[in-house]
Structure 1
Amino acid sequence: MASACTNLTGATRLVRLLRIEGFSATGSMDGGQFMTSRWNVGGHDWGIRIYPAAKGASSTGSFWVVLQLVNNSPMGATACRASLACRVIDPTAELKPSREKIVTDYNFGYRDQENRYLILMSRDELASSGYLKDDTLTLQCTITVLNVLPVPTIRAEEVPTTIPDEEEATAVLLPSNLHQHLGELLQSETGADVTFLVCGESFAAHKNILAARSPVFKAEFFGGMKEECSRQVEIKDMEAATFRAMLHFIYTDTVPELDQPLELAVMMAQHLLAGADRYGLDRLKLICEIKLANGITVDTAATTLALAEQHNFSQLKAKCVEFIISTPAVLDAVLETEGYEHLAASCPSVLANLLKSARARKN
């Protein structure tokens, strides 16, 4: 009797290294805040959400690094099952990789779509593990996608039993696209009830959304201030491009301007940091801090140090000081920049501490 082998599934696997620089700064993120890495595996668009400071369920106050796999494929995409695996890597190879954690049975494309989490390691355990190198966490993540192949055509006499009817497996649960809808609302200006004037440009917005995201806007529009009844508000001491980026973040929780080449991104982050602090946008402040910490150069160090002092970012301030006094050549180069002149004029106490630290390292 002739026999044949028929593949019923197709598996695709992709492995990547993900780095989180400035890991210590992520400790101030709320438990529900995350960073996303975009992947394309098995014909599907995926996102790995990394929650760097998820709150533990116990009363000990522990915080954990947690991952979640999200399918961003559009409606109608082929159903599939997938798994997410992750372990911590030492890029210097001095330590062996941590034990791999894996979450299986993600079921995408059906009504019972999974929404599970991979609990990797506590922040306290990471801090003492030796895996953090230069305040950078390196993760090795693996996505495995199991696609269900079309049922092959087989002659009736070869089929010992009937195949169950699976027509119910057609509903698709879409990932959240709230940010996209709010971004379209901002762009269309539908229902806008306030207009901001910034450096000659006008921006239409919605008071309710602004108030939900910013305690300052909430106080202005619903706290008895004069702006409460106003349909036009002038914003001073802020550039139009900065306000546009801040407004886009308020509606979508994203900052595309920070994905520009590093020099432009750092410049925007410097301006956005001041705006975020002004309007109480803590998540945007943290995003800007991370971008600035990863973009410290001779040209930006003094300006970033001044911002860190003005907005009370102690870790960013320490990183700037460490860079400036790292070598006599770097210190001399920073002293020649315009940013240093601004630092000397606006933050004399910081300048004194900087020079004191430089003398201490020299000795």
Structure 2
Amino acid sequence: WIMLVSILTLCCALIATLVLPLYALLSKSVQDDKGNFVGLDNFREYFSSAGLIESLWNSIFIAAFTTVIGSLLAFTFAYGLTRSCMPLKRTFRAIATIPILAPSLLPAIALIYLFGNQGMITGLLMGESIYGPIGIMIGMLFYIFPHVLMIMVTALSITDARLYEAAESMGAGPVRTFFTITLPGAIYGVVSAAVVAFTLAITDFGVPKVIGGQYNVLATDIYKQVIGQQNFSMGAVVGIVLLIPAIFSFTIDRIVQRKQVALLSARAVPYHPKPHKGRDTAMFLFCVAVSLFLIGILATAAFASLVKFWPYNLSLTLSHYDFDRVDPNGWSSFY
């Protein structure tokens, strides 16, 4: 009876939190503003709007670019943590996972303080504006990096050391070993990490809302349709369109996970890297650069929260943490 009650409770929870919201979204997408059934008219209107189609392609472009660059950065960082003998591995891992606790709004706000119209180092953009795709992509890289890194570290940690011993005994060089053992052994994790990165990037609202400027994406279009124009039907349509790539990514991830089960369940001998001065130095410098970027974003946000009036009065104050000035509930909203 206990198991039956638990299963029924779980089913009810899934219906309440997943099925019913999806049903409401789907039903609203085929209704007009008066609640009348209009079939696919809303979808035809959406795909006939040049502005909304542009937002769709913008979202795909941002998500694809962020996925590729973020996956490369995270894979290299994870490679340094698992396949090198560089110092400060625990420190680098701790720094790299801190951003997972930060909301996506934080990197966007920090980038404005760094590269905005009155930013500290705006000149580094050489005339380009941070408000748009450049800012969105940099903010997204900060946001998705720790999520992707954790998957990459796991993927690179499960390779059987006996494969490397066999490759070494057969005279395989480092490059050939990487492409025949390391990469194939981690490919499922790489694909899974890329899926996570793409889903996070295409569905995030915080970064493009804060720093996107006039560069529209699907996540901000939903906000504009529902909050700005009170057009719930079109907002539901945009939500459905945004849901499609997420479902596609989830399907790919499930297929990859099934294939990875056999690899994870095999009895593998843990791999322990051997010291290599050139590789270890290169990995150390790379991890330092990435860590400085992450710390720089976090430190900028923390510093800006203490500045009295940016950029005219840079004296430090805790008055911004007096939430009673902006919210009648004060700190109670936080708790």
The TM-score, its normalising length taken from structure 1, stands at 0.21
Q: Which has the higher contact order (CA 8 A, sep 6+)?
A: 2
Name the structure where helix makes up a greater proportion of residues: 2
Name the structure where strand makes up a greater proportion of residues: 1
The TM-score, its normalising length taken from structure 2, stands at 0.22
